[in-house]
Chain A
Amino acid sequence: MKELRHRFSSGFFITLALALLIFGSKNTSVVDDISSKTSDIFVPILDIASRPFEAAGDFMEWTRQVAIVFSENKRLISENEVLKLAQIKASQLAIDNQRLKKLLNVGEGQVNTIAAARVVSDSDSPFFKSVLINRGTNDGVEKGYAVINEDGIVGRTINLGSSSSRVLLATDINSRIPVKLAAGGINMILEGDNSPYPILAFLPFDKKLAIGDLILTSGYGMVFPPDLPVGQVVEITAEGIRIKLSAKLYNLNYVSIVGYEIIRSPVVENQENTTKEPN
C-alpha cells in the first residue's frame, strides 16, 4: 500500500512538472504572476546574501585602482586636454542640432529615469540569461522598460513583481534590440544567442563592417533611447558578425531603468487633428 502511494505521488508530481513545462509557456499571465510573487519573497534574502560579494568586488576594484593610480593620472591629464577641445566643438554642434531640429519639427525623444536598482540575482545558466533587480511596480517600473548601466545597454524588464523585476539580458536568445553603426548609421538588429557575444543581423548586402566598429542603439522599437553604447564588433565570419557588449553583463551591480517616448510639438498634433476632422 505504501509502495503504491509512493508511486502515485511520484507519478502525480512528474505529470504536474511536465504540464507546467508544456502549458506554462502558453498561459504566461498566470505563470508570470506566480513567478513575480515568489521572486518578491526571495529578493530581500538574495539582496542581503549578495552584499558580501559586492563588498569583495568593490575591494578588488579599489586595490586595482590604487595599483594603477600614477599611470592612470598621467593618462587622464593628456586625455583631458583632448576632451576640452572636443567639448567646445560638441557644444557648437549641439546648438546647430537644436536649431535644425526646430526648423524640421523633429519629434524629440524623452528619456525618463524611472529608478536605480541593484542586481541581486543572476540566472547563472547557459540557456537562460536574465537577472533579478530589487525594483518593481511599486517604484513605477513597467514591462518592456530599458535597463542600462554606466557602460551601455543591459536588457529590458520582462516580468514584474511589486518589489522586484526580471530583466532579460541582451545576450539571451529571446532578445532583439534595434541598433545602428555609429559611423554610418546603418540600422541592424542585435540578436542574443545565449553566448557572451551577440550577433548583428540584417546588415544590408552592400554594407561592410570592420573589427572595432562601434555599435549604438538606434531608438527604433521605442524601448531603448537612441545613441546608447551597445558594443564593438569583435568577430566577422561567414556565420555572422559578433559584438562584445560595452556593459559587462557578468559583473552587474547597479543599473538604471529608463522609459523612452517620443514627444512631438503640440502644433503638429493640432494640425493632424484639423486635417482629420472633415472625415
Chain B
Amino acid sequence: MMGLESKSEIGFRGILPFVSTLVLILVMQLQYRLFFLDNLFPYLSLAAVYYWCIFKPRLMPVSAVFLLGLLQDIISGGPLGMMALLLLIVRIFVVRQSSRFLEREFLFNWLVFIMVALVFGLATWATASVYIKETQNLWNALGQSIFTIAVFPVVVLLLGWVRNMLVTENR
C-alpha cells in the first residue's frame, strides 16, 4: 500500500519530504531572467505539499507545513503568514480526502489538483488584495495556477524519486 509508512522510514530519511519541499521553495525564489516568469512562476510548494499529504501525510505534519509556508513568506518577502495559512488549508483538505486519492491513478490526482491549484490561486489573489487594500490583477494569479497545473507531472516525477528513497531496503 502506497499510503502506509513503515517504522524504518522514521529517522533521518523521514525529513526527506520536508527537505524536498524546502528545495522547491528555494527553486521558486531564484532569478530566471525571463520576463514572463517574473509574474507567473508556478507554486511548486503547493504541488509538493499536495503530493506529500496524499502519499506520506505523517511525514508532512501540520507543524512542517506551517514552517515551510512561513519560510516561503520570509524568503519571498510576502506578508508573513499568508503562504503558511493557505498551505495549511490545503493540507487539511487533502489529508481528509487522502483515502479517496490513494487508490486512484495519477490522472485522477491531477484532476483534483487542477481544482486545488485554481482555488489556491484565487485564495492567494483574495488574501493579497485584502492585505494590500487594493484589488490586484486576478489573471496573474490564475496564470500562476495554470503554470502550476502544467508542471505538476514533473514535480510528481521528481518527488516520486524522493519517495522511492523512503522505501526500505528490507521490505
Which residues on the A side are within 8 Å of B143 (C-beta)?
A: 126
Interface size class of B (residues with CB under 8 A): 35 or more
Contact flag A250-B35 (CB < 8 Å), given A17-B81, A128-B77: yes
Determine whether B102 belongs to the interface, using a CB cutoff of 8 Å to chain A. Answer: no
Segment touching B, from A34-42, A73-81, A96-104, A135-143: A34-42
The 4 closest A-B pairs by CB, nearest first: A20-B81, A126-B140, A21-B81, A17-B85
Contact with A along B120-143 (1 / 0, CB 8 A): 000011011001101011001101
| B84 interfacial by beta-carbon distance below 8 Å | yes
Q: A16-B84, A22-B81, A122-B32 are in contact. List 4 more A-B contacts (CB 8 A).
A: A18-B81, A21-B81, A122-B30, A126-B144
The stretch from B13-21, B66-74, B151-159, B161-169 touching chain A is B66-74
A202 at the interface (CB under 8 A from B): no
Q: Which residues of A contact B (CB under 8 A)?
A: 6, 9-10, 13-14, 16-22, 24-25, 31, 34-35, 38-39, 42, 45-46, 49-50, 53, 57, 119-128, 130-132, 159, 166, 173, 194-196, 249-252
Question: Are the C-beta atoms of B144 and A121 separated by less than 8 Å?
Answer: no
Q: Is B150 an interface residue (CB 8 A)?
A: no
On chain A, the residues within 8 Å of B34 by CB distance are: 250
Chain B: minimal CB distance from A59 (Å): 12
With both chains docked as a complex, state the minimum distance between the C-beta of A19 and any C-beta of chain B, in angstroms.
7
- Identify which of A38, A53, A195 contacts B33 (C-beta below 8 A): A53
B118 part of interface (Cβ distance < 8 Å): no
Does B30 lie within 8 Å of A21, measured CB to CB?
no
**Is A166 in contact with B77, judged by CB distance below 8 angstroms?**
yes
Query: Can you report 25 A-B residue pairs in the complex whose CB atoms are below 8 A from each other?
Result: A6-B62, A9-B61, A10-B88, A10-B92, A13-B62, A13-B66, A16-B84, A17-B85, A18-B85, A20-B84, A21-B131, A25-B79, A35-B77, A38-B75, A49-B27, A121-B31, A123-B29, A123-B78, A124-B29, A125-B41, A126-B137, A127-B124, A196-B38, A250-B34, A250-B38
